[in-house]
C-alpha cells in the first residue's frame, strides 16, 4: 500500500520522497506529521508531511539522512514499499488572519515551514518568509517558499547568497523597522536556532510559535518518550504539539533530552552501514 512513487535529492543528505498513502492525504493539515517504518521490525520515526495530493492519494515527505532509519530509508527507490505509514498525527497549526506573519525556516525545518507558510498566506496574511542556511548550495526549497510567501528573505552564514548572517540577524532588521508590525513569528529548524529566536522575540512581546522534534516513538502519547517542559508543565510533543509557545519551552531540558540516545543512534547507523558494505562485497563475488 505504501509504495514509493518518486525520489529526488535536494542536497547531499536531504531527500524528497512521494509515497502512496490515500487515507493520510485526505486528512492531513499543515503542521501535522506521520510516523513511518521502513520494515516490520524497524524503528518508528516521525516526519512532517511537506505536501499532500488528496486526488492522487499521495503525500510528500522530506528527510535528512542522520540515523540508521533515515539511512535505510534512503536506500529505497521508487517502486519499493514501506512497512507502515501512520497519520496524520499531532495538532494542526492554528491558522487565522492576523496581519503580518514572519515564517523562519532553517535546514530541513523548511519542509515543515513550507505548508505552514502557505496556509498563513492563503488565510490573507502578509507572510514574510526568512530562509536560512550555512551556504547558498545548502538552501532548500527556495522556489517553493517564494511562491508560498508574500516576501522571501534569504540569509546565509557565509554570505554566499542573500544577507550575510543568521536568520536572527534578518529578523532583527524586521523588528527594528518602524514600518513593520509583526503579529506572529513561526520558527522551525534546528533547536539552537529556535531557541535563539525565542530569546530574541520575548523582550518585544512578539508571539512566537516553534515546532519541536523531540524524541518520539509511538506518536499517540502512550510511551511518554517525547516529553517536553512547557510553561512549567510536562507536555507530549506528539499529542499536545508539535507546536508550542516558544517563550514557554524549557530549552535546556529539551536540549539535554535530545542527546540521551546520541551514542546508541550513532552505533546503530554504523552497524547498518557496515552490513550494507558487507552485502555489496558479497554481491560482487
pLDDT tens profile 27-37? 999 999 999 99
Residues above pLDDT 90, as percent of the chain:
78
pLDDT score, position 83:
97
Q: Which CATH number fits domain 4-89: 2.40.30.10, 3.40.47.10, 3.40.50.2300, 3.20.20.190?
A: 2.40.30.10
> CB count, 10 Å around CB of 41?
7
Residue 270: all three cell numbers together: 554504523
What is the third-level CATH fold of 100-211? Rossmann fold (3.40.50)
pLDDT of 50:
95
- Residue-wise pLDDT for 246-257, tens only, equals 999 999 999 888
Query: Helix (H) and strand (E) counts for the chain?
Result: 8, 15
Domain ranges, ordered by start, for the chain: 4-89, 100-211
What pLDDT score was predicted for residue 237?
A: 92
How many Å apart are CA 218 and CA 230, to the nearest integer? 21
Q: Is 268 left (phi over 0), alpha (psi -120 to 50) or beta?
A: alpha
Q: What is the pLDDT of residue 267?
A: 84
Residues 174, 182: Cα–Cα separation, whole Å: 8
CB 234 within 8 A of CB 226: no
pLDDT at 156: 94
For 78-88, what is the mean pLDDT?
A: 97
Task: Report the distance separating Cα 128 and Cα 104, nearest Å.
Answer: 8
- DSSP-derived letter for residue 135 is S
Average pLDDT over residues 189-218: 92
Lowest mean pLDDT among 126-135, 144-153, 207-216: 207-216
What mean pLDDT do residues 175-196 have? 96
Q: What band does 281 get if pLDDT is binned at 50, 70 and 90?
A: low
- DSSP letter (8 states) at residue 214: -
Q: What's the whole-number mean pLDDT along residues 119-127?
A: 98
User: Band of the pLDDT at 204, cuts 50, 70, 90?
Assistant: very high
Give the separation between CA 29 and CA 105, rounded to whole angstroms: 18
Give the pLDDT of residue 155.
95
Q: What percent of the chain has pLDDT over 70?
A: 98
Q: What would the mean pLDDT of 273-282 be, rounded to a whole number? A: 75
Residues facing residue 213 across a β-bridge: none
What's the confidence (pLDDT) of residue 160?
95
Angle at alpha carbon of residue 106, lines to 214 and 111, rounded to 5°: 70
pLDDT > 90? residue 54: yes
Segment 224-237 shows an average pLDDT of 92
Q: pLDDT at position 283, please?
A: 65
Angle, helices 251-258 vs 191-201, to 10°: value is 180
**Mean per-residue pLDDT over the chain, rounded:** 93
Amino acid at each position: 500500500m505504501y509504495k514509493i512513487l518518486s525520489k529526488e535529492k535536494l542536497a547531499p543528505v536531504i531527500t524528497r520522497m512521494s509515497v502512496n498513502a490515500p487515507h493520510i492525504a485526505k486528512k492531513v493539515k499543515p503542521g501535522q506529521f506521520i510516523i513511518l517504518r521502513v520494515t516490520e521490525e524497524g524503528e518508528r520515526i516521525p516526519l512532517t508531511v511537506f505536501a499532500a495530493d488528496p486526488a492522487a492519494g499521495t503525500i510528500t515527505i522530506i528527510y535528512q539522512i542522520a540515523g540508521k532509519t533515515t539511512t535505510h530509508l534512503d536506500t529505497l527507490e521508487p517502486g519499493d514499499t514501506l512497512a507502515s505509514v501512520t497519520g496524520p498525527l499531532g495538532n494542526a497549526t492554528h491558522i487565522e488572519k492576523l496581519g503580518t506573519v514572519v515564517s523562519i525556516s532553517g535546514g530541513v525545518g523548511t519542509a515543515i515551514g513550507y505548508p505552514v507558510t502557505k496556509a498563513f498566506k492563503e488565510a490573507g496574511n502578509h507572510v514574510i518568509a526568512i530562509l536560512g542556511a550555512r551556504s547558498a548550495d545548502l538552501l532548500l526549497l527556495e522556489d517553493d517558499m517564494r511562491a508560498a510567501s508574500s516576501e522571501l528573505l534569504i540569509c546565509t552564514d557565509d554570505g554566499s547568497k542573500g544577507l550575510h548572517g543568521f536568520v536572527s540577524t534578518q529578523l532583527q532588521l524586521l523588528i527594528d523597522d518602524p514600518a513593520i508590525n509583526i503579529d506572529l513569528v513561526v520558527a522551525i529548524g534546528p533547536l539552537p536556532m529556535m531557541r535563539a529566536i525565542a530569546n530574541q522575540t520575548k523582550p518585544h512581546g512578539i508571539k512566537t510559535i516553534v515546532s519541536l522534534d523531540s524524541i518520539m516513538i509511538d506518536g499517540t502519547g502512550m510511551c511518554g518518550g517525547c516529553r517536553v517542559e512547557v510553561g512549567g508543565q510536562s507536555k507530549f510533543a506528539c499529542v499536545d504539539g508539535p507546536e508550542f509557545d516558544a517563550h514557554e519551552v524549557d530549552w535546556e531540558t529539551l536540549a539535554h533530552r535530545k542527546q540521551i540516545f546520541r551514542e546508541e543512534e550513532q552505533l546503530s547507523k554504523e552497524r547498518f552501514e557496515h552490513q550494507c558494505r558487507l552485502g555489496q562485497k558479497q554481491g560482487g563475488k
